């Protein structure tokens, strides 16, 4: 990464590597509610920008940057020898307040005098304007005002919401200068040799007059650290003799924690930093699905949040229909004045079936029948949407069509304008039925049907058996239609989609890999899909490409037509594991491990380029989000794959068929979350035979090991 970012709940800070926010770095700033509250942050010594010595990003919740001074002069006279002063810049966020400490240390053998200045400014720019996606009617700044221990910069929004940037300090500066460039706060410091002095700042966004509560720096940091310790204690822990996996797994856990947000219905993962720190239907649902054995309560928070914003009317401006699950929720000035439709926006074809899939899988993992019963009205409405609005052309397949003038044209996870392309190079026209979405619908209906049957006895609901049978019949009819319409015999693979004329888009892509986890494919065809996923055209050596090399639309540098997305690979892995294609799963997992070794802090990014591993290290995609929720959760999916873990919910049995990657001969997993209990498992690989030994430790789940 060429930036530094920290986040806690709904506030995040994006800076350059030195910790500054400069005018040249257009998107940097302090953000909440889709608004940039801090647009300039510049630290100087004697008026000169400092030089960076180190910039650590190994911990998501706290940033430590070490800087030093250049040579400074005044009227031709030396005022400060270069590298005399070290400035350690430490910052973290707690309860919507940014805490920043500047610790200056004199490393000269004599006393030094110097000026340390910090320039602050706020432009209150809407996220969509910052990113260049939208112009619009906006409000105006109301000026800066100083008071006893700080200052504020105000803004009156076009949405009639008052916003302020509030900056406070613990030590009184010698000068506070307010100008068109912002507010410059200056300290004159005098330090003996080896002496240090710390300056604390407290930076808060204020929306609608609500000022966040500020604590002492020590109390805030202690509380924040404790929350991370609790997260680790409650997580499924994994340890192996392959350090690379351990690092990827731990990094994924930490990244998911920093991406959690709570809108009042439980914690859920936002999509990713820096640009998508908001609820995303598809992204949040998939990340929660990936994490079920690790932190199932995240799935509950995600389900409840999505249910709260479930569509309740037909509104073409927002691509909303009754029962539909949202795509994206924004809360900035442009959203508040209805200049953009993201309040929320519903242009997603897959979020609704994924919502049902997550409910079903969550209940299977947790036995939370109470949530299932509470969600029944939402389940019914989502199923009604699938069967009516979802099947708008009467084909029997769920398909999408953009209605909103400012909406999204392609409404699957590959939502680029060029992502659904025929082999001729012609772009498919809507309504478009995507292959993976049919799998999500099948999985939703079959899983819910089984749960309705299993939980009937507990509920006393007489109509559940009838409902269960109806869902089974609908799923079977979908499976039959799917096999006939999507299978491309010449490729021994499934089409990416059906276009407006119900013609298959035969381009070979990763999308059919998602269908494996649904169990919808015929067995021989599922095997063909598994083999194709690890073929030379789709598998780069570092992961499965989004589009096969050799296709007319293939471009290894593209966003969706040849790049590699870790989450896309993880959904394929879940399917390969579910269908017992362990050898193919191992190939994919080992490729992602090799890729993870090459990225900073072993963090898998949102995506990377699809070049072959024979060319060298993975090639970064220039604007990939990092950390990003479903990429962060991908190493967590490795656990299920390495254990070969599958559930027989009806009979309360756990199946395991371990397969460990090269270089790993021991895997210890503690606190797998299942039902109301936890499970500890140790796997070892025999030296001579290569056979695996599974040793079950504590098992308080009430499930039996098959």
DSSP 532-556: HHTSTTTB-SSSBBSB-TTSTT--T
Query: What pLDDT score does 393 carry?
Result: 86
In SS3 terms, 309-369 reads as CCCCCCEHHHCECCCCCCCECCCCHHHHCCCCCCCCECCCCCHHHHHHHHHHHHHHHHCCH
Task: Write the CA distances from 370 to 63, 73, 300, 458, integer angstroms.
Answer: 41, 71, 11, 10
Query: What pLDDT score does 61 carry?
Result: 85
Burial class of residue 95 (count of CB atoms within 10 Å of its CB; 0-12, 13-18, 19+): middle
In SS3 terms, 41-69 reads as EEEEECCEECEEEEEECCCCCEEEEEEEC
Query: What pLDDT score does 458 carry?
Result: 54
CA gap 570, 39 in Å, rounded: 37
Structural domains of the chain sorted by starting position, each given as residue range(s) with its CATH number in brackets: 4-225 (2.70.98.40), 235-685 (1.50.10.10)
Which has the closest alpha carbon to 557: 511, 623, 499, 646? 623
Q: Which residues of the chain, if any, have pLDDT below 70?
A: 1, 455-462, 688-689
pTM summary value: 0.95
CA gap 625, 637 in Å, rounded: 20
Residue 426: CB atoms within 10 Å:
12
Instruction: Check if the beta carbon of residue 394 is closer than 8 Å to that of residue 326.
Output: no
CA gap 397, 131 in Å, rounded: 35
CA gap 514, 517 in Å, rounded: 6
Q: b or e along 369-393 (b: 16 or more beta carbons within 10 Å of the residue's beta carbon)? A: eebbeebeebbebbbebbeebbbee
CA gap 182, 537 in Å, rounded: 54
CA gap 598, 98 in Å, rounded: 31
Instruction: Check if the beta carbon of residue 291 is closer than 8 Å to that of residue 283.
Output: no
């Amino acid at each position: 990464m060429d930036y530094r970012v920290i986040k806690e709940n709904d506030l995040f800070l994006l800076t350059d590597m030195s910790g500054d926010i400069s005018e040249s770095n257009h998107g940097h700033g302090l953000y909440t509610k889709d608004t940039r509250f801090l647009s300039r942050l510049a630290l100087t010594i004697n008026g000169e920008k400092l030089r960076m010595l180190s910039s650590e990003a190994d911990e998501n919740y706290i940033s430590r940057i070490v800087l030093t001074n250049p040579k400074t002069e005044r009227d031709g006279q030396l005022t400060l020898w270069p590298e005399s002063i070290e400035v350690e810049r430490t910052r973290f966020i707690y309860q919507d307040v940014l805490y920043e400490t500047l610790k200056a240390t004199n490393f000269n053998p004599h006393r030094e005098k110097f000026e340390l200045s910090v320039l602050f400014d706020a432009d209150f720019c809407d996220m969509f304007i910052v990113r260049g996606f939208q112009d619009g009617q906006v409000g105006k700044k109301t000026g800066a005002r100083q008071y006893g221990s700080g200052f504020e910069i105000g803004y009156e929004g076009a949405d009639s919401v008052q916003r302020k940037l509030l900056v406070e300090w613990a030590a009184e500066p010698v000068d506070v200068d307010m100008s068109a460039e912002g507010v410059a706060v200056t300290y004159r410091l005098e330090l003996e040799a080896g002496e240090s002095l710390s300056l604390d700042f407290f930076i808060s966004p204020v929306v609608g007059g609500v000022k966040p509560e500020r604590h002492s720096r020590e109390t805030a940091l202690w509380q924040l650290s404790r929350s991370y310790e609790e997260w680790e204690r409650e997580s499924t822990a994994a340890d192996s003799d392959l350090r690379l996996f351990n690092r990827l797994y731990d990094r994924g856990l930490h990244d998911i924690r920093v991406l959690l947000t709570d809108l009042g219905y439980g914690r859920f993962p936002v999509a990713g930093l820096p640009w998508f720190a908001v609820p995303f239907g598809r992204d949040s649902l998939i990340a929660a699905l990936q994490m079920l054995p690790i932190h199932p309560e995240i799935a509950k928070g995600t389900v409840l949040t999505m249910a709260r914003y479930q569509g309740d009317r037909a509104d073409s401006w927002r691509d909303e229909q009754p029962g539909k699950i949202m795509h994206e929720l924004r809360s900035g000035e442009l959203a508040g004045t209805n200049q953009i439709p993201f309040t929320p926006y519903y242009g997603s074809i897959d979020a609704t079936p994924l919502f049902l899939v997550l409910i079903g899988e969550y209940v299977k993992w947790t036995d939370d029948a109470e949530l299932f019963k509470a969600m029944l009205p939402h389940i019914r409405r989502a199923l009604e949407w699938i069967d009516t609005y979802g099947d708008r052309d009467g084909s029997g397949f769920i398909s999408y069509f953009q209605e909103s003038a400012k909406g999204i044209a392609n409404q699957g996870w590959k939502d680029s304008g060029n992502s659904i392309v025929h082999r001729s190079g012609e772009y498919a026209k809507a309504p478009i039925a995507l292959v993976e979405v049919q799998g999500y619908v099948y999985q939703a209906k079959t899983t819910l049907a089984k749960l309705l049957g299993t939980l009937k006895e507990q509920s006393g609901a007489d109509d559940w058996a009838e409902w269960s049978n109806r869902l089974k019949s609908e799923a079977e009819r979908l499976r039959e239609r799917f096999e006939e319409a999507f299978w491309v015999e010449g490729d021994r693979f499934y089409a990416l989609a059906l276009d407006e004329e119900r013609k298959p888009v035969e381009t070979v892509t990763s999308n059919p890999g998602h269908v494996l986890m649904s169990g919808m494919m015929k067995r021989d065809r599922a095997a063909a899909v598994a083999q194709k996923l690890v073929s030379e055209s789709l598998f780069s050596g570092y992961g499965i490409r989004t589009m096969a090399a050799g296709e007319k639309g293939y471009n290894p540098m593209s966003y969706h037509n040849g790049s590699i997305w870790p989450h896309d690979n993880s959904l394929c892995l879940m399917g390969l594991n579910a269908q017992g294609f362990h050898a193919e799963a191992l190939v994919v997992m080992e490729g992602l491990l090799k890729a993870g070794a090459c990225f900073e802090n072993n963090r898998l990014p949102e995506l990377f380029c699809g070049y072959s591993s024979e060319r060298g290290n993975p090639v970064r995609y220039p604007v990939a989000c990092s950390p990003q929720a479903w990429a962060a959760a991908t190493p967590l999916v490795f656990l299920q794959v390495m254990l070969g873990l599958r559930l027989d919910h009806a009979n309360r049995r756990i199946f395991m068929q371990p397969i460990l990657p090269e270089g790993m001969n021991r895997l210890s997993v503690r606190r797998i979350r299942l039902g109301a209990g936890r499970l500890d498992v140790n796997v070892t690989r025999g030296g001579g035979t290569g056979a695996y030994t599974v040793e079950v430790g504590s098992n308080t789940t009430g499930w039996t090991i098959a």
